Amino acid sequence: QMKINYYPKCPQPELALGVEAHTDVSALTFILHNVVPGLQLFYEGKWVTAKCVPNSIIMHIGDTVEILSNGKCKSILHRGLVNKEKVRISWAVF
């Protein structure tokens, strides 16, 4: 399954949220991106923006792996933000 997210430029990004906080039900999620920051992970009680490395694929663990590992591997809470200056696009493959 694939989900394409399109986040238009937003002059006031602090007033908008692209995708609300969630975990993925899948085992693994692979995210291709257009090198515009906006993916945030909830880590140690705060939101951290993931680095956008050119020509990279972001991978994170979903709920299925957390269940199969009996909680040893945690599903990551994440969200998507809009950008003030650039269009952001991500392709999530589950």
Whether 33 is catalytic: no
Catalytic position from the list 3, 9, 74, 84: 3
Q: How many domains does the chain have?
A: 1
End-to-end Cα separation, the chain, in angstroms: 5
Whether 60 is catalytic: no
Catalytic position from the list 9, 22, 74, 84: 22
Q: What is the pLDDT of residues 12-67, one digit of tens each?
A: 988 887 899 999 999 999 999 999 999 999 999 999 999 999 999 999 999 999 99
Q: What are phi and psi of 70, to 5 degrees?
A: 55, 35
Quick check: helix, strand or coil at residue 69?
coil
- For 26, 64, 75, the CA distances from 22, given in Å and listed in that order, are 12, 14, 10
What domain range is 14 assigned to? 2-93
When pLDDT is averaged across residues 79-85 and rounded to a whole number, the result is 94
Catalytic position from the list 33, 46, 74, 78: 78
Residue 17's pLDDT is 79
Amino acid residing at 72 = K
Whether 63 is catalytic: no
What is the CATH classification number for the domain harbouring 71?
2.60.120
Q: How long is the chain?
A: 94
**pTM as predicted:** 0.89
Whether 22 is catalytic: yes
